[in-house]
Chain A
Amino acid sequence: MFQRPILHIALSSAIALSTLSALPAQAQTADTSAVVQQYATLVYANYHDVLSSAQTLQKAINTFTAAPSAQGLEDAKNAWLAAREVYGQTEAFRFYSGPIDSDTGPEGRLNAWPLDESYIDSVSGKPKSGIVNNPKVKITKGNLAKLNERGGEENIAAGWHAIEFLLWGQDQSDTGPGQRAFEDYVDGKTANADRRRAFLNTATQLLIDDLGTLVKAWQPDAKNYRAQFEKGGIASVRKMIVGMGSLSRGELAGERMEVAMNTQDKEDEHSCFSDNTHRDVVNNAQGIANVWLGQYKRLNGSVVQGASLKDLVAAKNATVAERVSRQMAQSVANAQAIQAPFDREIVGTQDAPGRLRVQKTIDSLVQQSKDLTEAAATLGITKLAQTK
C-alpha cells in the first residue's frame, strides 16, 4: 500500500556513513559486499517472478474480457491470487526510497490501499458512481495513472487492489469474498460493461508496465539502481534493514493488523474484496525472512541462495542472529495460523480465538523489529530511530 508506513527504523544515509566512520572500516567490507549483492540477486528474482505471474494474470483477464463467462472470471481470480503470493514477498524491498517507492516509484500505482470503491465503479446504492460510469473520462493508461490518488489518498484508479475490486466486487458477505457477477462485463446486461472491460484490461497493462520498470531497475550488469546499490556497502545493508523493520512494525503489525483489530471493520483488511488478507500477512512475513536469510524460493521451484544478512550479524554476535532467525520463523508460523477470512478473525472480545491469533502475529512482528534493531547495532548501525 501507500508509502506511508510509520517507519520505525529509518535514517539518512549521511548518518549511516558518519556512524560508520567511527568503526574499523575494513573489518566488514568483504562480507558486506557479498550480502548486498545477494540481496540484489534475490530482489531481481522476486520481481522477475512477479512480472511473469502478472503476465499470466493478464492472459487470463484478456481471455475473460474477450468473452466474459463465469469460468473466465474464476480463472482470472485464481491468477490474481497466484500473483499476489509472489508480490507479497517483495514488500520487504520498500521503505528506503528504492525503485519501488522513490519519488518516481510506482508503489502508489501498484499496491495503494485502502481504496474507495465508488471512485472506480458503481457500488451498492450508487449505480452511477466511479470512473467506469463516467463516459467523460477516456480510459487510457495515462488517465488511470493521472487519476490515481488524485484528490485523496483513497482515490485509487490502478494497481492490484483496483483489479481485485473489478474481479470480486464489494465484499458484503460475512463468510466469503465479494460476489461480482461476470455479467457486469457483458454488454446489455450491465451499464458500461464495455468501459469496465476497458478499465480492467488497461489497469492490468499499467500494472505490467510498472512491474517491468522494477525488473529493469534490478537487472544485473546494467546502468541502473542495482549497480549503485551494490556499491553501497553498509549503507545498502542499512536500507535492507530499514525495509524489513518498517514492514514488520509500522506497516504489517501497525497499519494492516493493529488498525483492523481496533476497528473490527471489514473495510480495514488489506485484500478486502477477495478475502485474501491472511495470505498477504504470510507473504509479507516470509518476504522479510527471505531478506534475512538471503534466500528465495522461485516460481519454478528453484532456490536463490547466498551470503546472508544473518551470517553477517552472526559473525559479530551469534546469539543475536539466532534470536532474529527464531523470531522471524515464529512470525511466519503465527501468520500461517491466522484463519480466513481475516475480517471475521478480528471480530469479537479480547480473548476471541481469532483475535488472539492475530495479536500473536502482531506481537511477534513487533519483537522482530526490535531484534532487528539490535542486529543492526552489531554491524555498527546504531542511530536507528527505534521504539524503546
Chain B
Amino acid sequence: MKLRIRQKVGLVLTAAGAIAALAWPVWSHGNADLSNVVQGELTAGEATAFATGRNAFSMPLPTLDDAERARFAVGNSFFRRNWVEAPASTTARDGLGPHFIARSCGGCHVQDGRGAPPEVRKGQHEQPVALLMRLSIPGTGAHGGVVPDPVYGDQLNNAAIQGVQPEGQVQIRTQTLRGRFADGTPYTLQKPMYRLGQLAYGPLAPGVMISPRIAPQIAGVGLLEAISDQDILANAAAQAEAPGPIKGQVNHVWDDFAQTLRIGRLGWKANQASVASQTAGAFLGDIGITSPQHPDEACMPSQHDCHVAPKGSQGKAPEIDARTLSDVIFYQATLAPAARRNVADAAVQRGQALFAQTQCNSCHRPSYTTGAAPYATLSSPKVQGLKIWPYTDLLLHDMGPGLADGRADYAANGQQWKTPPLWGVGLIHDVNGHRRLLHDGRANGVLEAILWHGGEAQPAQEQVRRLSAQDRQALVAFVESL
C-alpha cells in the first residue's frame, strides 16, 4: 500500500498531466468506452462505494436519496440486531426460534460479510454458526424443489430456545489432500466431511442428503437480482454453442413473492430468485421468524416441544411484519459493491490478462448492465441501468466429484454449483478476518479455491496449475483486487 502510494506520487512529479489524462476515463462516471474492455476502479458505476476495511460491505448505494437512506438505516438495524425469545419486553423483536441457527441475519453475515467454518483441531471443533446443513431425501417436492427430511425438515437447526431441544449437532472431520503445481511446488487442501450427531428427534431418513452452505457476503445482491433474465439465458445459449466443456445451466426456482417459478440467481445452487424470497426464507429457516410469506413456524410434525413453544407477537401476527421485512430486504438490495483496489498494479494487470487467458471468465463473466429490480417496492430505482462487474454467469456448472454435495436442488444436480460472483472477494479479509471461499468455506484463499475446481472447470484449473509461481500470484492479485 505504502509502496503503491509512493509510486503514484513519483509519477505525478514527473508527468502529472499524463497521469491525470489517463486517470480521467477510469474515474469519470458514464465514460464507459475504456471500462468496457478493462475494468477500472468502479464496480457499479456511480453506485460504487469507495470503501475498504471493516465497513467495506456495509455501504449504501451512494445514489440513495434521504428517505431511502433512512429506510436503509432501519433495515440495517433489523438485519443486525438479535431476535429474542418470546415472550419478551421488546415486542418489536421477539419470536426467535423455536429452532434456529442464528439470532440475527448479522449473526452469520457478520458486518454484511462472509462466514467461515469452525477450525478443526485434532478432530475437535466448535459448532458452526455461519455454515448451515441443508437436508433432503430423494424425490421431487413442491414446485419441483426438494423433499425435506420427514423428521428434521430441509435444514438442521443446531440451536433452540429454552425448553426446546436443538435438532442436533454438526460433526466435521477433515482429510488432507496433497498435490503439486506443474513447477513442482507442493500444495495441500483440506477436504471436510460432515456427520450429524446428537439428533434430538430420532434418526434421519434413510438416504438423506446433506449439503453444507456457508453464508456469503451481501453487498451487491440487489444488483445481481437486477440482471435481466435475457442476459442469463444468453449466457447459457452462448456456452451451449461454444466448443469446450463449459455448459452452464439455468435454475428455475419457486419465488415466494412472485408465487411462481423464476430464474434462480442467489444461493450456492441458484436456489433463490430474489433477495426478497431469500430473506423471507432465511428469517423462517435460520432464525425462526415467521412472516407474511411464511406464517407458520418450521416445526416438523413429530417435534412436539417445537409446536408448543411460545410464539412471538403474542402468537397473533407474523413475528416480522410486512413493512419491517420490506425494510430488511431493501437494506440488502441497496448495499453497494465496493470499488476495486490496486487497479494500476502491474501484477494485477498481468493477472487480469491471465484470468481471461485461462478462461476463468467463461463462467466468471465480468460485466452486465442492470435492468429493473424484480420488486420495485423492495429495492431502489437506483439499481437500474448500472454497468456492474460481478464476475459470474449466474449459471449452474458441474464442478466435479471433489466439490459435489450429492444433493439436488431444483434443476441443480449433486455435482452442480452456481458460479459465485467474485466482486468483494479481496475484501473478505478486511471485513471478516479470514479468506475462506467456496460453498462450505473449505478453501483458504483464492488459489485453493481454484485448485478445487473440477468438472467443467477442470481444464481451466489445469491451466492455472501450469502457471509459474509469479503468474499464479498475479492471478490471485487480480482476483483479490475485485
Which A residues are within 8 Å of any B CB, using their own CB?
Answer: 2-8, 10-15, 17-19, 21-22, 25, 95, 97, 101-103, 114, 116, 118, 124-126, 151-155, 170, 172, 249-250, 254-255, 258-259, 262-263, 265-268, 366, 383-388
Interface size on B, residues (CB 8 A): 61
Contact of A4 among B19, B55, B72, B336 (CB under 8 A): B55
Lowest 10 A-B CB distances belong to which pairs? A11-B50, A254-B73, A385-B62, A21-B12, A97-B53, A259-B77, A154-B82, A152-B107, A22-B20, A3-B54
Contact of A387 among B48, B65, B129 (CB under 8 A): B65
* Nearest-CB residue, chain B, relative to A259: B77
Is A11's CB under 8 angstroms from B62's CB?
no
Is B92's CB under 8 angstroms from A263's CB?
yes
Q: Does B70 contact A (CB under 8 A)?
A: yes
Given known A17-B8, A116-B84, A385-B51, contact A172–B89 (CB-CB < 8 A): yes
Which B residues are within 8 Å of any A CB, using their own CB?
Answer: 1, 4-5, 8-9, 11-12, 16, 19-20, 23, 27, 41, 48-55, 58-60, 62-66, 69-70, 72-74, 76-77, 80-82, 84, 87-90, 92-93, 102-104, 106-107, 110-111, 129, 162, 336, 339, 341-342, 430, 433
In the docked arrangement, what's the CA distance between A259 and B73, Å?
A: 6
Is A3's CB under 8 angstroms from B55's CB?
yes
Contact of B50 among A6, A15, A101, A118 (CB under 8 A): A15
In the docked arrangement, what's the CA distance between A352 and B92, Å?
A: 21
Q: Shortest CB–CB separation between residue A257 and chain B, in angstroms?
A: 9
In the docked arrangement, what's the CA distance between A55 and B27, Å?
A: 49
In the docked arrangement, what's the CA distance between A15 and B41, Å?
A: 9
In the docked arrangement, what's the CA distance between A155 and B73, Å?
A: 21
Residue with the highest number of chain B CB atoms closer than 10 Å, among A17, A19, A151, A153: A153
Residue with the highest number of chain A CB atoms closer than 10 Å, among B49, B82, B93, B339: B82
CB-CB < 8 A to B104: which residues of A? 152-154
CB-CB < 8 A to B106: which residues of A? 152-153
25 A-B interface contacts by CB (under 8 A): A4-B55, A6-B59, A8-B60, A8-B69, A10-B59, A18-B19, A21-B8, A21-B9, A21-B20, A25-B12, A103-B53, A114-B81, A125-B88, A152-B102, A152-B104, A153-B80, A153-B104, A154-B81, A154-B103, A254-B73, A255-B73, A255-B77, A259-B77, A265-B93, A387-B64
Contact of A151 among B8, B23, B76, B107 (CB under 8 A): B107
Q: Shortest CB–CB separation between residue A248 and chain B, in angstroms?
A: 12
Given known A255-B77, A388-B63, contact A18–B8 (CB-CB < 8 A): yes
Given known A22-B20, A153-B106, A387-B66, contact A6–B72 (CB-CB < 8 A): yes
Contact of B80 among A4, A11, A172, A383 (CB under 8 A): A4
In the docked arrangement, what's the CA distance between A306 and B8, Å?
A: 32
In the docked arrangement, what's the CA distance between A258 and B77, Å?
A: 10
Given contacts A17-B8, A19-B27, 7 further A-B contacts (CB under 8 A): A13-B5, A15-B27, A15-B50, A18-B8, A21-B20, A153-B104, A387-B62
CB-CB < 8 A to B49: which residues of A? 10, 385
Is A7's CB under 8 angstroms from B55's CB?
yes
Is B58's CB under 8 angstroms from A4's CB?
yes
Is A259's CB under 8 angstroms from B74's CB?
yes
Q: Shortest CB–CB separation between residue B159 and chain A, in angstroms?
A: 9
